[in-house]
């Protein structure tokens, strides 16, 4: 039937195709220019010809990015890209020693571009056949590298926080008795996990999302190296049980965020085996230590975990986000979500949305896959080793200096320290001021953390272009900043 608005004598409406900006030619031109610019940027960043982090006022920055009244046309693209690049945090700059985010390998970044352009959503297999198969291959790769059994399986998520939540949801479903997914947790005892006091906040966030409130993640004391104390774990477990908690599992950190401490996973796994507890290992940052024969011992015991989270966008030179969530018994990876959605799920076991929080997701494993295929696993292992080695070298520099204090010997590639010039008072205030001053000079980006109540400067040596000499210069920059106070 004709709609009342359409008259039979009206010509058929013509749908306009997208304009010339959507053409292959326009893409080719813009793309070549873009890659040239990013390659120049890599060159300039590694030669320190840019600020590590440009210091700009938030309001001024907000004003700068106000949308134009009318589109500026494709000719504006190069200048726009230059502006974005210039005003960003430069992770390839040798002075970038900040948070745990990779300085991406260009091949992996190109993989991200391909993922963005193909945009295969991956909720179900037929939305992204290659991407889904690649994800399955890389889940198996991670599992092998970590020593999990051949039956292990899992899924990729957008980041370690979602990964931890995904694993803990499965743990709850499998260990809390009567399905919480079906019936909720009403009437159940207070559920909880035990976790190092130094664990990443995403664990406590996940247990709150699970509805367990502030007592859902009970903290276990750490030793002088910030590793979970196994005697404290046993004591906390006994106390929690006496207090009526149903303890479902233990979360081991490999490694922690603040100082890069590896919990003693082997001994934690012994406790879990004896007490019937699920062992989840948050290996978001440190699990790639398993790639290195030199540092593999740091994660000994990870292969006994029931579930593990491993991020590729931290230690493996891949752009954010790319996280593997692994389950030692492959079937457990189906326990997290058990929802019917007939418009989407066909019962195909390759439909990944049945196993993750995300419906549509990016082609999360593609950048790492390209890196492994084109550059190789051994180069990634060397990168991990180099970063961990550099942290030890930096610690040696700090120990040798009588005006710096090392918080703790680094286990991974995170080093916390502070400047202690003779006669200095208010050391906490001093560190904060020094950091601000050094950031203002734009040659370094470092961060800070509190340990046992005191403020420490914190560096993550994750950038392949940072050298020993850069770190010596950082110490001199801090000394100069202190003299200027
Ligand atoms: C130990 C640990 N777990 C989890 C996360 C969260 O990972 P993401 O930032 O990918 O969500 C981090 C982030 O720094 C981390 O250090």
With a CB cutoff of 8 Å and minimum separation 6, the contacts of 481 are 433, 434, 437, 438, 441
pLDDT tens digits in sequence order for the chain, 485 residues long: 444 555 656 666 788 878 889 999 999 999 999 999 999 999 999 999 999 999 888 999 999 999 999 999 999 999 999 999 999 999 999 999 999 999 999 999 999 999 999 999 888 899 999 999 999 999 999 999 999 999 999 999 999 999 999 999 999 999 998 888 888 888 889 999 999 999 999 999 999 999 999 999 999 999 999 999 999 999 999 999 999 999 999 999 999 999 999 999 999 999 999 999 999 999 999 999 999 999 999 999 999 999 999 999 999 999 999 999 999 999 898 887 866 666 666 667 788 888 889 999 999 999 999 999 999 999 999 999 999 999 999 999 999 999 999 999 999 999 999 999 999 999 999 999 999 999 999 999 999 999 999 999 999 999 999 999 999 999 999 999 999 87
Instruction: Quote the ligand 1 centre to 270 CA distance (angstroms).
Output: 25
Test site for ligand 1: of 102, 158, 196, 200, most ligand atoms within 8 A of the Cβ: 200
Ligand 1: residue of 205, 285, 458 to mutate (most ligand atoms within 8 A of CB) is 285
Report how far apart the first and last C-alpha atoms of the chain are (Å, whole number).
Answer: 81
Partners of 337 in the β-ladder: none
**Which range marks the domain in which residue 275 is found?**
113-376
Ligand 1 shell residues, CB under 6 Å: 100, 159-161, 200, 202, 253, 257, 282, 284-285, 311, 321, 323
In-domain check, residue 283: yes
Residues with Cβ within 8 Å of 107's Cβ and at least 6 positions away in sequence, in order, are 367, 370, 371, 374, 375
Residue 321 alpha carbon, nearest atom of ligand 1:
10
Is residue 104 one of the residues assigned to a domain?
no
89 in any annotated domain? no
Distance 325 CA to ligand 1 centre (A): 13
Structure confidence at residue 339 (pLDDT): 62
pLDDT of residue 236: 98
Rounded to the nearest 5 degrees, what angle is found at the Cα of 368, between the Cα atoms of 365 and 374? 130
Q: Would you say residue 442 lies in a domain?
A: no
Task: Write the CATH number for 174.
Answer: 3.40.640.10
Residue 25 is assigned to a structural domain of this protein: no
Cβ–Cβ under 8 Å, residues 247 and 283:
no
**pLDDT value of residue 1:** 41
Question: 113: closest CA among 24, 29, 34?
Answer: 34
Asked whether residue 339 is assigned to any structural domain, the reply reads yes
pLDDT score for 16: 84
How many independent structural domains does the chain possess?
1
As a whole number of angstroms, the distance between CA 398 and CA 392 comes to 10
d(CA 386, CA 413): 9
**Ligand 1: centre distance to CA 286 (Å):** 10
Q: Which residues contact 277 (CB under 8 A, 6 or more apart)?
A: 194, 237, 247, 248, 249, 250, 271
Assigned domain for 222 exists: yes
Let me know if residue 485 belongs to a domain.
no
Out of 222, 311, 358, mutate this one to test ligand 1's pocket (max ligand atoms within 8 Å of CB): namely: 311
Comparing CA positions, the residue from 203, 241, 242 lying closest to residue 219 is: 203
């Amino acid at each position: 039937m004709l709609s009342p608005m359409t008259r039979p004598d009206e010509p058929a409406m013509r749908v306009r195709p997208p304009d010339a900006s959507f053409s292959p030619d326009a893409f080719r031109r813009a793309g070549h220019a873009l890659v040239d610019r990013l390659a120049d940027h890599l060159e300039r960043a590694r030669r320190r010809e840019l600020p590590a982090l440009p210091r700009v006022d938030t309001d001024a920055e907000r004003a700068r990015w106000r949308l134009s009244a009318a589109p500026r046309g494709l000719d504006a693209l190069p200048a726009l890209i230059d502006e974005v690049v210039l005003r960003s945090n430069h992770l390839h700059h040798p002075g970038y020693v900040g948070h745990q985010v990779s300085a991406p390998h260009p091949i992996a970044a190109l993989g991200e571009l391909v993922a963005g352009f193909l945009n295969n959503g991956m909720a179900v297999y037929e939305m992204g056949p290659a991407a889904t198969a690649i994800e399955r291959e890389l889940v198996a790769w991670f599992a092998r590298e970590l020593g999990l059994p051949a039956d292990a399986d899992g899924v990729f998520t957008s980041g370690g926080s979602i990964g931890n939540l995904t694993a803990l949801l499965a743990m709850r479903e499998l260990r809390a008795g009567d399905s919480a997914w079906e019936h909720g947790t009403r009437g159940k005892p207070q559920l909880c996990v035990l976790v190092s006091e130094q664990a990443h906040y995403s664990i406590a966030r996940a247990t709150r999302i699970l509805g367990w409130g502030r007592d859902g993640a009970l903290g276990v004391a750490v030793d002088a190296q910030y590793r979970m104390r196994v005697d404290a774990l046993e004591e906390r477990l006994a106390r929690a049980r006496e207090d009526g908690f149903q303890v479902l599992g233990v979360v081991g950190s490999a490694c922690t965020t603040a100082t890069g401490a590896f919990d003693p996973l082997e001994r934690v796994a012994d406790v879990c085996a004896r007490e019937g507890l699920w062992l989840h290992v948050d290996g978001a940052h440190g699990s790639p230590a398993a790639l290195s024969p030199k540092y593999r011992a740091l994660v000994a015991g990870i292969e006994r975990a029931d579930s593990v989270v491993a991020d590729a966008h931290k230690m493996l030179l891949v752009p954010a986000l790319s996280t593997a969530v692994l389950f030692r018994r492959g079937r457990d990876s189906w326990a997290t979500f058990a929802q019917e959605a007939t418009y989407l799920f066909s019962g195909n076991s390759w439909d990944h949305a049945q196993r993750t929080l995300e419906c549509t997701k990016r082609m999360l494993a593609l950048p790492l896959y390209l890196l492994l295929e084109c550059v190789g696993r051994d180069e990634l292992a060397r990168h991990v080793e180099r970063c961990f080695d550099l942290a030890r070298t930096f610690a040696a520099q700090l120990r040798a200096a009588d005006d710096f204090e090392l918080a703790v010997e680094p286990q991974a590639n995170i080093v916390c320290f502070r400047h202690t010039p003779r006669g200095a008072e208010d050391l906490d205030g001093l560190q904060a001021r020094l950091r601000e001053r050094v950031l203002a000079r734009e040659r370094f980006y470092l961060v800070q953390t509190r340990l046992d109540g005191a403020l420490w400067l914190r560096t993550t040596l994750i950038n392949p272009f940072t050298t020993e000499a850069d770190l010596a210069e950082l110490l001199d920059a801090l000394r100069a900043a202190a003299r200027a106070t």
